[in-house]
Chain A
Amino acid sequence: MQASWEIFCSVVDNYGDAGVTWRLARQLAAEHGLRVRLWIDDPAALVRLCPEVDASASRQWQAGVEICRWPADWQPVEPADVVIEAFACQLPEAHVVAMANCGRRVLWLNLEYLSAEDWVGGCHGLPSLQPEGLQKFFFFPGFAENTGGLLREHGLIERRRAFQADAAARAGFLQSLGVQARPGERLVSLFAYENAALPGWLDALVQHTSPTLLLVPEGRILGDLQRWLDMPALAVGAQAQRGALRIQVLPFVRQDDYDRLLWCCDFNVVRGEDSFLRAQWAGRPLLWQIYPQAEGAHWDKLEAFLALYLEGLSPSAADALQALWRAWNAGEEMGAAWTALQDEWPELCAHAERWCARQAARPDLAAALVQFYTDWL
């Protein structure tokens, strides 16, 4: 019988917790034939990523995954063979006791945040000595060989390339979102937290010599966009034109459709962890808004990723991309950095595809987790 796995997800804010754990759960079930249970304390967060989910159900099956509401008053259940606490969430104490007393070995994994920093490799896979003889390990996703890899479904890159090569498929998908791209328009997606740098960047797009269609899925950036446009509340489907810039607000789409949106666009602005990674798999230039942390801890993480990502770029292209990312994350003026980036565009496009291929050549996170369990046995 295949091993049983359970993933615990506590939704703190936004969609990263739910997005990453839902992807992982689906992949473990679909590609590794595992029995997977996803405990989530706020199933409503999943509904936007997978509209079939019933936010009121305490237990349901979707995409081969058992989704359970993680109740505040925890009721005892038989632990799975592998228990994953995602993003340092705190397992119910009674469940930890049950893991220790269930009469079989249970592998306890803490799935950590994605970071490109050097120290991650030194911590990946290390045990965390626990009372009651339980075996807990820290599992770090990452970009380097000595980490747990990145979430990537089997055949993702091939599907993406086929889609990008199929103009009719792209047009059909965009049409399903109510988007009609005009000839010559550069497509850009924007998914971001609030950002003081937005007006400067939009101003630069307005002045640009070639037209841009900015596609903005519902999210936290809409408030800034609305203020810049000086329009009343922006609803899904809202459109506006300012100079060379055309803007359209899109619905918040399910994960697979968000992938397609990224694949359609020439440039993707993303945030946090999940969309950041999906934009890399899109093989197109990207701009990352990192999750801001206390004491500016996020800057080390941003610089660590840039140090890896910029490898192999010409100095001028690396400087241009770096300047843009830093300005965006600092909430500073973007106009000059955006203009400088245009001269490097062909190189940045080729580089994005190379980076994607390089990362895709490594074992993916789900496969690495399964291998870790096999080795542990």
Chain B
Amino acid sequence: MKTAQEFRAGQVANINGSPWVIQKAEFNKSGRNAAVVKMKLKNLLTGAGTETVYRADDKLEPIILDRKEVTYSYFADPLYVFMDGEFNQYEIEKADLEGVMAFIEDGMTDVCEAVFYGEKVISVELPTTIVRQISYTEPAVRGDTSGKVMKTARLNNGAELQVSAFCEIGDFIEIDTRTGEYKSRVKA
């Protein structure tokens, strides 16, 4: 068993005897050091979707599914296509990528993991840390190098996140894909 807060987008839990893939998981602290996790789920048997909330320490049974290393290849509306080392292509719908959509961009080389339920790819997990380039942000704030003051930055795929105020256009940054948060600026 795993706690709700340990589940990530793309993983699958057995709930009431059915396999549910977690398409999105949001962690929030509620009161007195308690926390809740809001999940967007899809039933792998019926295709039905639902939103649900768990306490962060609620226990769920994980289902271990087959995985294969893949890289992002291209977008063929409405499907995203990934390819493995043997040039097999796997198509996946946008809804099944919701938890990682903010980090999908043309030309990305991250080695991802496609998760299979039977023959079908039900999700793709990105590495915990990825590097992306800032396409736009307001000019850097002089004098602040603490990293505590944040500002909004746009990535090459249009997604936005908060970064340290000293980051500039063209900088490469590390992002934690579990939280979607900026980690640090890196040298290209």
Contact = CB atoms under 8 A, between A and B. Distances in A.
Contacts of B58: 128
B30 interface: yes
B14 to A, nearest CB: 10
Nearest to A88: B34
Nearest to B4: A128
Contacts of A297: 29, 33
A194 interface: no
A102 interface: no
A68 to B, nearest CB: 24
A117 B26 CA distance: 14
Contact of A129 (B26, B28, B29, B50): B50
A12 B51 CA distance: 30
B15 interface: yes
A350 B26 CA distance: 39
B55 A110 contact: yes
A112 B34 CA distance: 10
Interface string A100-142: 0000000000101111010100110011111111000010000
Interface size class of B (residues with CB under 8 A): 20 to 34
Contact of A88 (B26, B28, B30, B52): B30
B30 A115 contact: yes
Contacts of A291: 31-32
Contact of B53 (A123, A131, A293, A294): A123
Given A12-B32, A129-B15, A88 B55 contact: yes
Interface of B: 15-16, 20, 26, 28-34, 36, 38, 41, 50-55, 58
Given A87-B32, A114-B31, A119-B26, 19 more contacts: A12-B32, A88-B34, A113-B31, A117-B28, A119-B28, A119-B38, A123-B28, A126-B51, A127-B50, A127-B52, A128-B52, A128-B53, A128-B54, A129-B50, A132-B16, A291-B31, A293-B31, A294-B33, A297-B29
